Every structure is written in C-alpha cells, then in structure tokens.
Structure 1
C-alpha cells in the first residue's frame, strides 16, 4: 500500500520512481479496466521493471469505463465539458482529500501562501454546468484566501473591472484566473495597467472564439492587462494534479506528477528531449483511479524536466484546460 503521506512527501527522483512502481502494482491489482488494458499489451507486474515499461491508459477510457482502483464508494464525479451531444469524461472520485492536498500543495509550491492573494475567478463556462473539477479547486482557493474581495464572476464584467483595478492600485496581490475566451472579452472591454496581479489562463475557447496559438494569445493578453507574462494551469478532468506555467507556456510539475513524451507513431516508444510527441501524464494523486494517462495533447519535454503543450492530435472534441490547437 502507498499512503497519501508517501505521495505528497516525495522529495527526489529516486523516491518518485519507487512510489510510482508501487502505485502501478496497486492499480494493476485493483483496477480491472487498467489491468485488462495492460493484459492486451502483454504487460504485467512481472515484466514491468521501470517507469518506461508502464502502460498508459488512453484518456478516452474515462468516457466509456469506470476507472477506479478501489471498492470505496464514489463521493464525487467530475465531468469534462464538451459540445452538445458529445460523450464526456467521468472521473469517479472516492477520496477528495487527495485532490485537495494535491492542488493546495501545488499552489503553495508555485505561488506561496494563498492568504497573500485576492482570488478573482472568471470561469463562466465552468460555472454554467455541474461537475467541474476546476470550479471545485478554485472555490477552495477562494475560501482559503480568507479575503472578502475574492470570488467568482460570471458575466458581470463591469463589476470585475472595478474590483480588479481597485485592488491592484491598492497594492493587493491578485490572482485573476480565467477561461481564455472570457479573458479576451475582458481586455476588449477595458485596457489595464496592472502591477500586482497574476493573470492565469486555463485554456479553452469553448466554441466562443477561433482557436489561436499560445504566442498570439499571450501577446494579446499581456498587452490588454499591461503585464509581462501570462501564467497558465495545465490540468484536466481525468487528473487530480496540475502543472503550472509562470510564463512563456513552459510548465513545471509538482513532485508527485511527471510528463513523458511518447512517439506519435508508436505509443509504447518514448522520444528524446525537445522533440514533439504525445503527452503521457503520471499523476500519483490519482491513486484511487489511474495514475498513468495517455492524453490527446502534443508537447515537448526539456532536460530540466519542464514541458510545453503544443496542441492536440486532432481538432475534434476540443475541450478541457490548455488544449489550444495549432
């Protein structure tokens, strides 16, 4: 068994690899969907000796199967956004403490104490539906900030403009986290000159605007908000951990999460640093689900273990966080 304490106190690559192998064996034994997938690939506990031998479950399985590694009751079901009529992913969560510990510790690692911020959330598409893991996380950050000015904004842009401008001028550290199209709407209504505010985009045009490459998007947002960098969050319904970019689209993972880049022509082969391939995610916080997920994203990884997301394998079923298509 691996405990939450084992996962969230990882402090070295060697420790990460050791815990990862234990989690693989646990999920192989307890997750029928995952074990059947491994069997199809002729991989089992005996011939998986290292991380690169571990099979990564295609993310589409969350649309068609119940992906769980425990017999505990499901207490929360996170669902993905999608176009009308599209089949959405369902992440069955049996222990929310893993998610809460993951996003609280990751935020603290990258940004410090949440109580130092006023958290303003501009996430209309997510607020319009139930089951959003992003809304769950941001609501917790808003509460954790203990700041009366923190809160959600649906489409009340004028109120948000006044609040954001006032707080920034007062010297309050502000985190404005928003879905991409809504941030673009905001800077079309008002040009800002912010000096104490972090702008964090979560990706996604939600069919509201044309998709654009990151460089173009971030240039528009930097000019509109008067900031030098746009921060980004890389997360998705099927994960319980997030990677963060402090600018330029370069992401870093918390210690219990990692990215591998697979060959686009051979899903069981990995490619060198700096080359484009499919993004595989190890998320040890997904202990009760599946920690080894092959996403539909394209990306690159660098020798310092940072990575960037470049787009998707195809233009269909565009949804989720930071899935900006080239």
Structure 2
C-alpha cells in the first residue's frame, strides 16, 4: 500500500486531470486510510463509534465529511498520554515533528518510516511543481534562510519543512544565529551570488519584514534578477497580534529587492499533517488533489459551511500510517472548489484568514518570533556584524 499511496501523493499530475479523476483518487486514498486507522487504532475507533460512524458509512465523495475529526490541540497532550494517537507501535516511530520548539507546550506529531518518507517526497514534489517545473539542471540556485539552522532549533515543523527545499539548492546559508537575524549576512549572500545563482529568500513573513525594515533603515535598494523568489510560511501576524499587511510587504519587496508580487510565494502547512498548500504565480493557494480540506461551522464542526463562507479548516490527509491525520485545525479559512486557475492547474483553493477565537495553539513562526523578541528586549530584531 505504501508504494502506491506514496506514488500518487508525491506526484502532481492530478492538478491537470479532470475533477472526476481527482475525486476518484481522493475517495480511494482517504477511504483506505480511514479503514486502516479504524481497524488499528483503538482511540480513533472509539471516537468513530461515539460519533455513530462505521466502516460502511464511508463510500462516496459526499461521505468524506462524515469522517470524525481529531481536534489539533489533542497533539499537545503530555507525551505519555498522546501515545494513544498512534496506529503503530512506538518502536516504529522514526521522527517527531513539533509545532513549536522554543517555548510553551509543543504539539508533537510522530511519524513512522513510511509516513516520514511520503511526507518528504510530497514536500519536495510540491516545491518542484510550483517553482521548478520544466526547468533544467543548468539553473544553479542559492537559498538564504531567515530562520535558525536545524542544529540550533531541532524538530520544529516550520524549519524542517523549509530545509527540505535544500534538494534544489547548490548553496544555502542560515542567517539567524543565537536567535538574532544577521541582516548583513543576508545582504552579503544576495550580493555575492549575483550572476552565478538564482536566489531564494526563505522565512516566515515577520522575518522577511524585518529584513526589509533593515534595508529601509539603511536606504539600501537591491535589484535582484527575475529568477529570485521569496518563500514564506507561518502566518501574517506578529506574536503581539499585530497584522503584517500583505500588500504593504509586496510593495516593500518590489522597492527594496526588485521582487514582484508573483514571485513572493506563501504556503500553508502544519506539523501534524503532510500537505504543503503552495501558491502559484497568481498568489492562489492550491490544495493538492489527493487531500480533502473542508470548512466547518465554528459552533458545530461536524457541519460543513457553504462554499465561500468563513469557518474552521478541517484536513483529511491519507498520507499517514503512524496516526490518523483527520484533523480539525484552529485556523479560519475559506475554500473555493474546483477552481480552474490561469496557471493551468485545477483544484480547490484555500485562503487562510487567521486563528479561531480563543485559540491558544500558536504556530511555529509566532513561537519563534515571541522567543526572539523576548531574548533581549533592548535589541532590535536584527543584528549587524
């Protein structure tokens, strides 16, 4: 089962197939995953029985929203208590990924070898699909990471997701050292690689904004080449709750880096789930066709809201064997279904609006920013050599 599931999920051909083909593949994979966890996971089977759902109830595409969801905060339980989420024995777990690695309670997602491999393949193929499709090996690339290195912050989901991007890079530099962004180092890399490497700047929006503020303060304006891309993940709010205006950031990227809006790509992902939901050149987030996302009513998560309405994001991810990835997040969003985008892809699309009311589960970027800003309140967010 692993080889077949991995091949379908890691492939991106379904973006170019008819909706009926996409739905058939989605139902097949999710139904198979539901049966797998229902039969192997006592906790999840009890949850299904309490919800009045059996194996016979999940047959068609319309049945997918009947699948019982696990609240994402369940992954924040103490480690001994959270082991009941596993559908494999603990000795099969090869990797732990955490939603925060610097402070507070971590949300822990445990993956066995097959799940971890599929997750990595899916991430790499998503990057390839949206950034490198039909580009030859002659293109050399360099990545400037506005995040700590994996050696400095271990197991944080955001950092692991970003570092998988390394498959496409010939050079890479991590520019957060001792929890401070070294803007001089970022600037030196961008200048040094001019003419020899296609440049990528990778980091959460608050770190991109920090670097732009540094350039603005120093009155430095770069004109990076057309191949340059800015890749972000982690939400568009500071840890204080203050919004990072996207259009304002786009304008600053154009003014101080020479990077157009179409080359600033944000993606959505969670440590607890496998999909990376990436933006195309139209800044539209395309949901991979093998995953099923729906928007649920804030007051009754068993009910799906009408298309185009705001609600809580639910994710049905068939790519995990170690635990059921049928998850009710704490993110607010809007989904448009069966969108035929001018980029050539057909898929459901996702717009993330923020967090649900009274949500206390913070994402990796907010946790990282809170830690960095509190490390020494007398310092700015960036430092110079």
TM-score, normalising length: structure 1: 0.86
Please give the residue correspondences for 1:69-108 in structure 2 after superposition, counting only pairs within 5 Å: 69-71=87-89, 73-81=92-100, 84=103, 86-95=104-113, 96-108=116-128
Instruction: State whether residues 263 and 270 of structure 1, in contact with CA within 8 Å, keep that contact through their aligned partners in structure 2.
Output: yes
Whole-Å Cα distance in 2 between the matches of residues 46 and 111 of structure 1?
A: 41
> CA distance change for structure 1 residues 125 and 181 in 2, over 3 Å: closer, same or farther?
farther
1:211 to 243, 246, 253: 243
Whole-Å Cα distance in 2 between the matches of residues 56 and 222 of structure 1?
A: 42
Whole-Å Cα distance in 2 between the matches of residues 125 and 263 of structure 1?
A: 39
- Answer yes or no: is 1:200 the counterpart of 2:231: yes
Whole-Å Cα distance in 2 between the matches of residues 23 and 141 of structure 1?
A: 27
Deviation for aligned residue 1:166: 3.8
Whole-Å Cα distance in 1 between the matches of residues 101 and 50 of structure 2?
A: 29
Aligned length: 318
- Answer yes or no: is 1:162 the counterpart of 2:188: yes
Deviation for aligned residue 1:78: 1.0
> CA distance change for structure 1 residues 234 and 123 in 2, over 3 Å: closer, same or farther?
same
> CA distance change for structure 1 residues 200 and 13 in 2, over 3 Å: closer, same or farther?
same
Aligned to 1:131: 155
Instruction: State whether residues 97 and 155 of structure 2, in contact with CA within 8 Å, keep that contact through their aligned partners in structure 1.
Output: yes
Whole-Å Cα distance in 1 between the matches of residues 257 and 151 of structure 2?
A: 23
Whole-Å Cα distance in 1 between the matches of residues 118 and 34 of structure 2?
A: 17
Aligned to 2:24: 14
Whole-Å Cα distance in 1 between the matches of residues 148 and 300 of structure 2?
A: 38
Provide Cα deviations, 1:73-94, integer angstroms capped at 9, x if missing partner.
212111111774x322100111
1:228 to 260, 268, 273: 260
Deviation for aligned residue 1:152: 1.9
Whole-Å Cα distance in 2 between the matches of residues 135 and 310 of structure 1?
A: 22
**What are structure 1's unaligned runs of at least 5 residues?**
none
Whole-Å Cα distance in 1 between the matches of residues 277 and 329 of structure 2?
A: 14
Question: Which structure's CA Rg is the greater one?
Answer: 2
> CA distance change for structure 1 residues 214 and 263 in 2, over 3 Å: closer, same or farther?
farther
Whole-Å Cα distance in 2 between the matches of residues 5 and 252 of structure 1?
A: 23
Aligned to 1:24: 34
Whole-Å Cα distance in 2 between the matches of residues 34 and 159 of structure 1?
A: 48
SS in 1 for 2:313: strand
1:313 to 356, 362, 383: 356
Provide Cα deviations, 1:100-145, integer angstroms capped at 9, x if missing partner.
1111111122122696432221113976432123323333332x23
Deviation for aligned residue 1:57: 1.2
Aligned to 1:297: 331
